[in-house]
């Protein structure tokens, strides 16, 4: 299958000046970002002024969990496709295989 997304690996907030929830394309050997910012993953549950103020004070990122999940997406997709290629139809049965195939289709834009 071809890929239309920016190739991974992606990184969560690799630049010290990145804002909260920042996911970037990988860095070249010369230290340049190959594709720039992929996204800024926010958490709708952590957008109120009180929550954000607490994170600013603590120096933490309220959107880190979402950003890390998104940053792992290219590797997760690749691993799932590899598992199905190597084991699909033999050790992966029923609903597990259907869910894996549906997730791949969703990531590839088929659903």
The whole-number pLDDT of residue 84 equals 86
Assigned token pair, 102: 């549906």
Please check the confidence at residue 69 and state whether its pLDDT lies above 80: yes
Q: How far apart are CA 94 and CA 82, in angstroms?
A: 18
Q: Give Cβ neighbours of residue 108 (< 8 Å, ≥ 6 apart).
A: 1
Q: Give Cβ neighbours of residue 41 (< 8 Å, ≥ 6 apart).
A: 21, 23, 63, 66, 67, 69, 70
Indicate the pTM of the whole model: 0.78
Tens digit of each residue's pLDDT (9 = 90 or more) over 11-59: 888 777 788 999 988 766 666 666 688 999 988 888 899 999 999 999 9
What is residue 44's DSSP assignment? G
The whole-number pLDDT of residue 76 equals 93
């Amino acid at each position: 299958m071809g890929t239309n997304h920016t190739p991974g690996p992606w990184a969560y907030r690799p630049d010290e000046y990145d804002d909260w929830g920042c996911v970037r394309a990988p860095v070249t050997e010369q230290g340049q970002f190959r594709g720039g910012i992929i996204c800024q993953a926010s958490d709708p549950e952590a957008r109120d002024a009180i929550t954000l103020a607490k994170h600013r004070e603590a120096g933490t990122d309220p959107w880190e969990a979402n950003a890390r999940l998104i940053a792992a997406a290219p590797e997760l997709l690749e691993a799932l496709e590899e598992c199905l290629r190597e084991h699909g139809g033999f050790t992966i049965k029923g609903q597990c295989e259907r869910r894996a195939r549906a997730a791949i289709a969703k990531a590839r834009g088929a659903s």
